[in-house]
Amino acid sequence: MALGLSVFRARGIEMKFARFSLITNQPGPLAIDAVRDAISRAGGWITGHSLFSNLSATINFDLPGDATARFLELLLEKGLRASAEDPMPTGSPEELTCTIAITFANPGPDQRREVPPFG
């Protein structure tokens, strides 16, 4: 299994980052729930997220390095095929800081809300 891995080194500290992306026809809430469940079941935890209306979402999470294959398998079980950038072999138990960018192919109606003016 391949993994997109970037390495950041500063002051003798090395941090490893994995980046995943996926495009789905599933409704946003279902796809986000599936990703959340896959992260949790693979032994990871969510550290942050960003929602971009109904077009896309980004989820930041930490995951044991040796759980990346399990994470991708769990996504496949839910009908989501994630791709990784910068292929590299996996297997290290070292913790990874990860992000997954989800793009919704059929976003449906815009979910923006009118914000009243202040004043």
Round the average pLDDT of the chain to a whole number and report it.
83
In terms of average pLDDT, the best of 84-88, 96-100, 105-109 is 96-100
pLDDT tens by residue, 45-90: 999 999 988 889 999 999 998 888 899 999 999 999 998 876 544 5
Query: What three-state secondary structure class fits 65?
Result: helix
- Helices 28-41, 68-77: axis angle to 10 degrees equals 140
Domain regions of the chain by residue span: 18-104
State how far the Cα of 106 lies from the Cα of 47, in Å rounded to an integer.
Answer: 27
Instruction: Using the predicted structure, report yes or no on whether residue 4 has a pLDDT greater than 70.
Output: no
State how far the Cα of 55 lies from the Cα of 105, in Å rounded to an integer.
Answer: 8
CATH C-level class of 18-104: alpha beta
E strand segments, the chain? 5-10, 13-24, 45-52, 56-64, 83-84, 95-104
Question: Model's pTM, two decimal places?
Answer: 0.78
